């Protein structure tokens, strides 16, 4: 589908990749952009409609669906990273990552799927991660939540195919945002992630590998776990 004249809702729209989605949707001529954030005052962009939305709150998700029943494209971008280990970290933090990175997009997809159907099918874009395909001890909770988000993306694509909804998953390594500010390693600009995702919506692509790291990680999925992680940790040590 074409994004020109489309009605789009972006979660986590106040900064980082979400803010880039909003900016580029304006450039591509979207008719209306719902910019969702926990604090709508944090969205300081002319020509958009800010929405207060905590995607982990089912009542707020349903309220957003009622308020934005003209949406044709849903961009599930909001996410968190707590740096929590699955084995030694606090279970509350593990649950918080799952609530935000998996259950949040799930609630949004369930709420907006009937709206997309009524409006012609449309599209859903999920910002996932290369960490959906591997993990490190310090990011176990994040990786688990993103693996679940990858599965959600595939399931939604299959379940919503009959109603004509195009579902895109975007995978990437480190992005130059606040979330990765303390990590010293090569990063890609959030503008590149947003552009690749929006291009996929318009071209019909189902999965985006937004950088070389995402391509490298996915290329090793057929390897045995020991070989795969030897390769991954060697690459990380040299980055």
- Contact in structure between 149 and 101 (CB atoms under 8 Å): yes
- Contact in structure between 15 and 186 (CB atoms under 8 Å): no
pLDDT score recorded for residue 183: 66
pLDDT means over runs of 10, the chain (239 residues): 97 96 98 96 92 97 98 98 96 98 98 98 98 95 98 98 98 82 76 97 98 97 97 89
Closest to 14 (Cα-Cα) out of 72, 64, 77: 77
pLDDT score recorded for residue 238: 81
pLDDT score recorded for residue 195: 98
pLDDT score recorded for residue 184: 66
pLDDT score recorded for residue 239: 63
To the nearest 10°, the Cα dihedral for 36, 39, 42, 44? 50
* Beta-bridge partners for 167: 124
Domains of the chain in sequence order:
7-237 (3.40.50.720)
pTM surpassing 0.85? Answer: yes
Name residues whose C-beta falls within 8 Å of residue 44's C-beta, 6 or more positions apart in sequence: none
pLDDT score recorded for residue 186: 72
Q: What phi, psi does 93 have (nearest 5°)?
A: -70, -35
């Amino acid at each position: 589908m074409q994004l020109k004249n489309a009605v789009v809702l972006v979660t986590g729209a106040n900064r980082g990749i979400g803010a880039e989605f909003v900016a580029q949707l304006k450039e591509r001529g979207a008719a209306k952009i719902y910019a969702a954030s926990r604090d709508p005052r944090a969205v300081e962009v002319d020509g958009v409609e800010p929405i207060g939305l905590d995607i982990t709150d089912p009542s707020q998700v349903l309220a957003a669906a009622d308020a934005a029943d003209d949406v044709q494209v849903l961009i599930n971008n909001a996410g968190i990273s707590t740096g929590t280990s699955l084995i030694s970290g606090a279970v509350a933090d593990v649950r918080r990552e799952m609530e935000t990175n998996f259950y949040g997009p799930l609630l949004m997809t369930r709420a907006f799927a009937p709206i997309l159907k009524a409006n012609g099918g449309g599209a859903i874009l999920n910002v996932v991660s290369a960490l959906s395909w591997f993990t490190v001890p310090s990011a176990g909770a994040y990786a688990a939540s993103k693996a679940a988000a990858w599965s959600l993306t595939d399931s939604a694509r299959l379940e919503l195919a009959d109603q004509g909804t195009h579902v895109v998953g975007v995978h990437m390594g480190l992005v130059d945002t606040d979330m990765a500010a303390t990590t010293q390693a090569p990063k890609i600009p959030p503008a590149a992630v947003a552009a690749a995702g929006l291009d996929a919506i318009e071209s019909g692509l189902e999965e985006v590998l937004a950088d070389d790291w995402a391509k490298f990680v996915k290329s090793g999925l057929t390897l045995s776990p020991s070989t795969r992680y030897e390769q991954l940790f060697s690459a990380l040590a040299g980055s």
